[in-house]
């Protein structure tokens, strides 16, 4: 297996998120002006599994959307050359989610592959289309917008 394009240490230099809310473990592909592919390894140790659901743990859909949004945020910040480690006042805000569809539950042990493609970018506003898969099966897709304020 090849090395990731961005590992967790590099992601933490880019993004302001931290445990328990950093939901991207690595970036395996990024194409300028096109999109990015991120990976989230889902484990039983995720804090939300204690209550969602104790006898049949399922990753909440909003967390899958958030993981895709963070992947898009990494793309936006990398494209802009911004890093939280160099600019502690950096802010990235999730603005909207549309057309969200959940196709199959995501469970502990799954590897979530998140492909997030750029739809439009105007100044500091980014619009993305995200798709998440587990073992090649679509589990979630959505359109998302974010604002970057460096």
Which are the catalytic amino acids? 52
Instruction: Specify the DSSP class assigned to residue 6.
Output: B
Residue 32's CB is within 10 A of a number of other CB atoms, namely 10
- Cβ–Cβ < 8 Å for 77, 135: no
Q: What residues are paired with 39 via a beta bridge?
A: 26, 113
């Amino acid at each position: 297996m090849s090395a990731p394009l961005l590992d967790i240490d590099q992601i933490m230099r880019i993004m302001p998120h931290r445990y328990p809310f950093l939901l991207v473990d690595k970036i395996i592909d990024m194409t300028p002006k096109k999109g990015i592919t991120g990976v989230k390894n889902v484990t039983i140790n995720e804090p939300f599994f204690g209550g969602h659901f104790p006898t049949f743990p399922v990753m909440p859909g909003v967390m899958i959307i958030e993981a895709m949004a963070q992947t898009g945020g990494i793309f936006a910040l990398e494209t802009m050359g911004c890093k939280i480690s160099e600019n502690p006042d950096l802010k990235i805000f999730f603005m909207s989610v549309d057309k969200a569809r959940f196709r199959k539950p995501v469970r502990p042990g799954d590897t979530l592959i998140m492909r997030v493609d750029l739809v439009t970018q105007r100044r500091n506003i980014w619009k993305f289309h995200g798709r998440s898969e587990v073992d090649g099966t679509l589990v979630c897709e959505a359109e998302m917008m974010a604002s970057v304020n460096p």
